[in-house]
Amino acid sequence: MAAYAGCDGALLDAAVAAGARGVVLQALGAGNACAAVARTVGRLVARGVPVLVCSRAFSGPVTPLYTAGGGADLGRAGAVFAGDLSPWQARLLLSVALTHKPEDPGPVVSQWLAQPSPDGVRAA
């Protein structure tokens, strides 16, 4: 789902209701979303649905920069920040992780994100 100003978590809920086993959130800037989206992410993660956060921006890593709101709320909700991956790359990573270890894809995602990127700039 691509986040935008004023959005809610309805599209995330709809994706999971339609059968998605994990979701990629294209957050704003360095990984921010509104409080309604963060609450939805928290509910999904609590149900065992992994949420991978990447940026809608052209380049740069996502990270929970702020101590309150935005990316910090997503992090507290249990979302995983996908470093410098594009939304498309994050979707592929999540798909592979869900295929490899459907009962617990988190370690697969975390292990891959911990590796340095070929250009040495991955920030997870």
14-26 pLDDT, tens digit per residue, is 999 999 999 999 9
Q: What is the mean pLDDT of residues 21-42?
A: 92
For residue 124, the model assigns a pLDDT of 47
Q: What is the pLDDT of residues 68-119, one digit of tens each?
A: 678 899 999 999 999 999 999 999 999 999 999 999 898 899 899 888 776 6
**Max Cα-Cα span within the chain:** 38
Contacts of 84 (CB under 8 A, 6+ apart): 59, 60, 61, 117, 121, 122, 123
